[in-house]
Amino acid sequence: MDTQVVIIGGGPSGLLLSQLLNREGIATVILERSGRAHVLSRIRAGILEWGSVEMLREAGVGARMDREGFVHDGTYLTDEDQMVHIDFHALTGKRVMVYGQTEVTQDLYRAQDAMGTTIVHGVEDVRILDLDGAQASVEYVLNGERKRLSCAYVAGCDGFHGVSRKTIPEDRRREFERVYPFGWLGILSHTPPVSDELIYANSPRGFALASMRNANLVRCYVQVPLSDKVEDWSDARFWEEFSRRLPAQAAERLVTGPSIEKSIAPLRSFVSEPLRWGRLFLVGDAAHIVPPTGAKGLNLAVSDVFYLHQALSAALKTGDETGIDGYSARALNRIWKAMRFSWQMTTMLHRFDGEDSFAAQMRRASLRHLAESETARRDLAENYVGLPY
């Protein structure tokens, strides 16, 4: 056998799984379609649940996060000028960490390099074979040459557009999907945040999110129609719209500046079941997508990795296959609860084109209920900081 586990995809799921397995003495090879610079240029998630923080520490990649990340005790949800504070720490005893996905990925690449793990960049035409045999194999093309690796297991960590999920025959998987009729336009800018904590803003003009990476780097989003293009949005137009969606007390603190990144992401809820097909296991975005409103995408990838690394380690070290047999059901149980939370946050905070007047009243009532009920705030906080593994 060439290696014990072939991991398809060198994003956060693939790198973290490899790192945890390597630390237990299990050999892995990572096959990544893109170059490293491209993977590290993608600006994505910014909030880590405490369970994710602990996983990164356990993987030996927590040092820079603990030095440079920012611990937040809560967040704000707003309805026009009313700001509802959700105090995670008072309500649940837990906090979250502001530390970008780009940094997590960078830390994992450094750690994997130090471990000497083989990460093959630029692979094409990956094919996953022999999943019901005594050993699996993965074929790929590198620099025009076809190669083949044999292994005990394959981890499909190749994101929503990867090959792993599609390797499971169509009639043996069930897909559940909801596509939302809007996207998020996000910018990154070297300016100070408008608030000490994130603001999720519901406004009659649509949703906005004021997030941050550090004291002089903000990540801000506005809900936009799917037909909009990045070129439609000058920095001036972005800041004007963003400011109008924030409550007055936050908008008056807004400092604007040039964007250093600007992109539009569509919003989708998606789950593919099962997560196991013979010797193949799906992890992270390869199996599921959440709309970003609950900050769950990256965190769900981390909890999948938690379950799978335990399961693979037991199977490879002691021959105990209970974990791999239970992986799909165990991970899906947590995935569906995060799906529900992300959908609920999205529905509560976004304006849907063509909606009736009732919908806006429901959003307003949800936010009023949060403002007045500690039980409602605790429920939101419990989900936001992350349900137990």
Residue 47 binds ligand DHB (CB under 6 A): yes
How many whole angstroms separate alpha carbon 346 and alpha carbon 24?
Answer: 39
Q: How far is the CB of 198 from ligand DHB (least distance, A)?
A: 6
CB nearer ligand FAD, residue 8 or residue 246: 8
Residue 69 binds ligand DHB (CB under 6 A): no
Residue with the closest Cβ to ligand DHB?
46
Choice from 101, 102, 223, 272 touching ligand FAD (CB under 6 A): 101
Count of residues engaged in binding ligand FAD, rule: CB under 6 A:
32
For residues 21 to 40, the per-residue mask of contacts with ligand FAD, x marking binding by CB under 6 A and - elsewhere, is ----------xxxx----x-
How many whole angstroms separate alpha carbon 381 and alpha carbon 6?
Answer: 37
For residues 210 to 239, the per-residue mask of contacts with ligand DHB, x marking binding by CB under 6 A and - elsewhere, is -x-------x--------------------
Joined together, the tokens standing for residue 79 give 């309805």
List of residues 6+ apart from 358 with CB closer than 8 A = none
Choice from 285, 312, 349, 381 touching ligand FAD (CB under 6 A): 285
How many whole angstroms separate alpha carbon 66 and alpha carbon 358?
Answer: 45
Residue 46 binds ligand DHB (CB under 6 A): yes
Position 162, amino acid: G
Residue 77 binds ligand FAD (CB under 6 A): no
What angle is formed at CA 19 by the lines to CA 15 and CA 25, rounded to 5 degrees? 145
- Helix (H) / strand (E) element for 47: namely strand 47-48
Residue 290 binds ligand DHB (CB under 6 A): no
Kindly identify the residues of this chain, within the stretch 192-211, that bind ligand DHB according to CB under 6 A. Answer: 198, 211
**Spatial contact of 5 and 26, defined as CB atoms under 8 Å apart:** yes
Whose tokens are 């005594």? That residue is 134
Whose tokens are 């105990």? That residue is 320
Written as one string, the DSSP assignment of 51-69 is HHHHHHHHTT--HHHHHH-
Residue 273 binds ligand FAD (CB under 6 A): no
Active site residue ranges: 72, 200, 292, 296, 384
Which residues form the interface with ligand DHB (CB under 6 A)? 45-47, 198, 211, 219, 292-293, 295
